Amino acid sequence: MCPESCRKLAQQVKALEAVIVHTYRIIAFYALKLTDPKEASEIWKTYALFCEEAIKTLRLAKDKFPQGTTVDVYDLALDYWEATQERYEENLKDSECRLNASLQTS
């Protein structure tokens, strides 16, 4: 039987999982609506920082409670961080291409 503190941690981890997934979806939707890829890259960068903080917190929890759901959510956070980095880099590259194109037409 899991002590009360273990149950509370499991609830908090599930809540963090929901925030990671839900926030990613909102940002992905919003970033697609933006016309400026530089602005989109900044949004992805901010979300990546959030993921990094979540990963740090989950790493501590997973080391302390390796038998819980923390390990799965830790892996999920890493996956979302990686996807976020890809989108950040893609948007940053697009913004640089856009800048170069505008400089060539000037």
**pLDDT of 3-57, one tens digit each?**
787 788 889 999 999 999 999 999 999 999 999 999 999 999 999 999 999 999 9
Determine the 3-state secondary structure of 2 from DSSP.
coil
pTM score, whole prediction = 0.85
Determine the 3-state secondary structure of 60 from DSSP.
helix
How far apart are alpha carbons 43 and 29 in whole angstroms? 11
pLDDT of the residue at 99: 66
For the chain, which residues make up each domain, given as ranges? 9-105
CA distances from 50 to 7, 16, 99, 101 (A): 24, 11, 28, 32
Tokens of 105: 């037409």
